[in-house]
Chain A
Amino acid sequence: VHDVETIWDAACRAASAEITDGAESQGLDWFREHGLRVKPFPRLQWYLYPKLVECGLRFEQPYQERLFRIGKELERRLHEQGIAWWDKQLEEYAPLPHWRDLAGLWEGALARHFDVRIGDYPFWLITARSMQYSWGANVGIQLIKEVADNVAGHGKVVMNNAAADRLGIADGDLVEVRLPLNRTKGRVMLCEGIRPDTLLMIGQFDHWATPFAKDLQAPSMNALMPMLLELTDATGSSADLVKVSVHKLGSMP
């Protein structure tokens, strides 16, 4: 197994060799210094652009340019109204987004808003849709629950074996997953195919009030998701992602 630096270094060398037809090969350090490398691209090969220009036709700009233009338009309208609290999100209307420390963004926001040491919340909690629950309304159908239960993870807190071992948690144990904001309970299902620093709760069903669905008793990360402006993206949404701690409540019955 190679470390990340080695992998990136190899990728950089391969990419630079490819665009120079093998004449040059620069490693990760070169790209750290220069940022990017391009090669000439004849204008004639630009899809329909030269012809459209030649004919004087109106056409949409490429997506990135449109995105940038829309962002600018939105920024002006908002500022005309004296609205500045969306400025952070407006930065996302960029043709080529820069890398951002998303983990740090989440950790910092949680630490600030809940006055906690983020190290006390060592797990990333994520969610996933499953094939059986591809449509939300399926949640009320008994047959769907029955077949979904054949697939590992439904209705459980999916956790890496080694991580659970360290906390003295065994398969089937009842655990509480906590954030200062709230907490949720569920039984653990141990799994090797999940990162040791990650928990998974398939589906988010605790908001259902309809018959059958309201009695599923599945752990859900809905209750643990903080609504913070700084974690809200330009679409007005946020990633289903939060840092949590896990505590064993009871053993498998």
Chain B
Amino acid sequence: MTRWVMLADLDRCVGCQTCTAACRHANATSPAVQWRKVLDIEAGSYPDVSRTFVPVGCQHCANPPCMHVCPSTATRQRADGIVTIDYDICIGCAYCDVACPYQARFKVDAPRFAYGDTALQNETEREDPRRIGVSQKCTFCSDRIDFGLANGLTPGLDPRATPACVNACIADALHFGDIDDPGSNVSRLLREQQHFRMHEEIGTQPGFYYLYGKAAAKAPATGATSALPKTTGKLRATGVEPWHQRHWDWKAAGNFICGGAGSGLFVFAALADLRLGTSFPLGWVALALVALGLFLVLLKIGRPWRFIYVLRQPQRSWMAREAWIAGFLFPFAALATWLDRPALMIPAAVLALGFLFSQAMILRESKGIPAWRTPRIVALIIATGLAEGAGLFLAAAAMLPSLASITELAAVVALMLAAARAWSWRSYLRGLRVEGAPAHALGVLERFAPWFLVLGLTLPMALIILALAAPHAVLFTVAGLCIAGAGADLKFILVTRAGYNQGFALAHLPERGRGISLPGVKPGWVAQ
């Protein structure tokens, strides 16, 4: 077998960005779309300071999260390990963008040119309209590799068969080759030098290795002590710390808000239907909410006319599963509501729960966003969806005379679910602090926490107690809306404010040229 990998020697990289320029030029990417780039990290305190340059880009993981989440099968993995994108299939949902822990995905929604609105001749000739509105990333210059192999050349050794960034490297810091061949250049370098891979703890098994000194020099030689302290001291890492994901905006949040509340509401409409033996318009309202959420997603994706491709990969992608479940939920639930058959409402409610679970798993599988990928997000999203549904049901029950008999019960259930959601939220936040998270994400969530508890639990609890003591429909309605509103607010904050990506981290911070390294760094993170 063949497994192509890239190596970056941190002892040699001088941060010239020639690889970045070569990649931009070879692949004709738009301005600011850098499939390959070099980070600039400064560590230490004056006058003992080191500076490290770190090439980054797609790591062509053996276990690529971007491929697993892709609903359309646009992202695939070749037998030689290269992760590819089919621009003709990609729907531009940017799920891969939030799933990638290496910030290696790019999506350009409109043509961009180097000098304003007018394309230069080379930009006109090299523009690829297929890339607009879809995901794009480093291909390891697979066209060059394939050309080389077809002509008997060795990738990594012959420039015509080697990625442009490696060819361009002025410091001989980038290397490319077959790690499955023990005699290859990369296998030899990995034997001779110490190395690590980025974010290995996520389980992606990257195909990109960082070299940081001779293997024999694991301990500093006598007399060769580092001039640097044994801690990294201060760290300047602009562009290295996590930044907020750029593609899932309020429309994506709208899908989680409407989809969660809608599916939760449908569950309670079905339960009420079962108890009272008759159907209510709430089922239609619930379905309308779910539909609105999906419509918002349609507005968000880069290639809306390809939306049907979302169904292509239910084997792996929770987004595809969500779409499939929605495909069953709408006709089945509509039929049940229309026929007024309580017995049909329950299976439809199970589908609604499946839809809600899918939404939770969509966030859970977003491996590039630490505040989303934590296992506790699943319980939180489900509890929130059910609490939102119960809140909306309570608000409606207080207003509809036909549901008056179960209003108090609905209030108690809504309150219990709001309490369960608050407990789940507390557990989620505590888990994030223990697991570690981007400082900004944690800051956003911790600032939001008191408001969420007041609006989502304390205030509705007070209103419901008041309403139970002195029944008043408006109090129940306001309490229900508070519970639902807090849930919506939580998801909005989670998606559009706390969606900080993984950022970059180094397991070792080498002191260039000395064969000595400082402890690893993870800029912009709290704990772990």
Contact = CB atoms under 8 A, between A and B. Distances in A.
A193 B40 contact: no
A190 B236 contact: yes
For the complex of A and B, 9 pairs with smallest distance between CB atoms: A142-B114, A147-B17, A193-B49, A131-B16, A147-B20, A192-B49, A152-B40, A192-B46, A147-B21
Interface in B26-59: 31-32, 34, 37-40, 42, 44-46, 49, 51
B238 interface: yes
B17 A193 contact: no
B115 A143 contact: no
A144 B22 CA distance: 11
A150 interface: yes
Interface string A158-174: 00111000000000000
Contacts of A196: 46
B327 interface: no
Contacts of B21: 143-144, 147
Contacts of A195: 46
Contacts of A147: 17, 20-21, 24, 34, 37
A170 B88 CA distance: 47
B234 interface: yes
Contact of A192 (B31, B39, B44, B239): B44
Interface residues of B, number: 28
A150 B114 contact: no
Contact of B236 (A148, A191, A212): A191
B31 A142 contact: yes
A161 B20 contact: no
Contact of A150 (B14, B20, B51): B20
B354 to A, nearest CB: 45
A229 to B, nearest CB: 36
B438 interface: no
Interface of A: 131-132, 142-144, 146-148, 150-152, 160-162, 189-196, 211-212
A160 B236 contact: no
Given A143-B114, A192-B233, 9 more contacts: A131-B17, A142-B31, A143-B31, A150-B15, A151-B38, A192-B45, A193-B44, A196-B46, A211-B115
A193 B52 CA distance: 12
Nearest to A147: B17
A146 B31 contact: yes
B25 interface: yes
13 contacts: A131-B17, A132-B17, A142-B114, A142-B115, A143-B24, A143-B114, A144-B21, A146-B32, A147-B24, A147-B37, A150-B37, A152-B42, A192-B236
A146 B115 CA distance: 12
A161 B234 contact: yes
Contact of A162 (B39, B46, B238): B46
A131 B19 CA distance: 13
A181 B284 CA distance: 74
A150 B40 contact: yes
B46 A160 contact: yes
B22 to A, nearest CB: 10
A42 B114 CA distance: 65
Contact of A131 (B14, B44, B233): B14
A143 B21 CA distance: 7
Contacts of A193: 42, 44, 46, 49, 51
Contacts of B16: 131-132
B132 to A, nearest CB: 19
A77 B457 CA distance: 94
A191 B236 CA distance: 7
B15 A151 contact: yes
Nearest to A148: B17
Nearest to B17: A147
Contact of B238 (A132, A142, A148, A152): A152
Contacts of B37: 147, 150
B95 to A, nearest CB: 27
A106 to B, nearest CB: 23
Nearest to A194: B46
Contacts of A146: 24, 31-32, 34
A30 B20 CA distance: 55
Contacts of B115: 142, 211-212
A151 to B, nearest CB: 5
A151 B17 contact: yes
B236 to A, nearest CB: 6
A162 B47 CA distance: 11
Nearest to A163: B46
A1 to B, nearest CB: 8
Contact of B38 (A142, A150, A212): A150
A142 B115 CA distance: 7
B134 to A, nearest CB: 22
